[in-house]
Amino acid sequence: MRNLTGVIAGLLFLAVSTQVWSAEVIRLGFFDKQAIVDRSEMGKEGLDKLKSRMLPIREKLDAARQEIEELEAEFKKKELVWSDDVKKTKLQEIRAKKVMLRQGVDQANRLLTEKERELLMPLQKKVVEIVARIGKEEGYAMIFELGDGGIWYAPDSLNLTERIVQELDEFHAREKATQ
């Protein structure tokens, strides 16, 4: 018990002495990348372009799903009256269409990832510039990206998201005006 008390007292002394001896204030900040994409004009435009490019693919995949559902419903209705050969052929057709659908979904996911990266790359580059400038000009030791388990808690006073969105929108408006 005395050892535990000594350890606690030592830790408290270390914590207090570290604060007393440390004259330099370390400034930290963070931002929410997804909120920047969702709220900024550049992000909204990128997402709209992405949705419009993916819409025809989604419609084709939905039509393929519908066709499979219809074939399966037909099979359930008629399997008792069909011969074994017809049932076998129909099951092979359904399986083949399911494989094609899975391949289509995989291809669509790869394309979505590629297009998302392509359309949002200019936004990401500009966010990196803004964050680096804010960090240098205002003396931040570190600015973190919120998400993927990186930050579990931080007070709102450290959140730079809205400021980044505002600066990004100003840049975007200037860029649009010159076009």
Query: CB neighbours of 82 closer than 8 A, spacing ≥ 6?
Result: 90
DSSP annotation of 83 reads -
* pLDDT tens track for 9-61: 444 444 444 444 445 678 999 999 999 999 999 999 989 998 998 999 999 99
Please report the pLDDT score of residue 85 as a whole number: 94
Domain spans of the chain? 24-178
In which band, very low, low, confident or very high, does the pLDDT at 1 lie, cut at 50, 70 and 90? very low
Are the C-beta atoms of residues 35 and 168 closer than 8 Å to each other?
no
In which band, very low, low, confident or very high, does the pLDDT at 149 lie, cut at 50, 70 and 90? low
Average pLDDT over residues 120-128: 92
pTM: 0.66
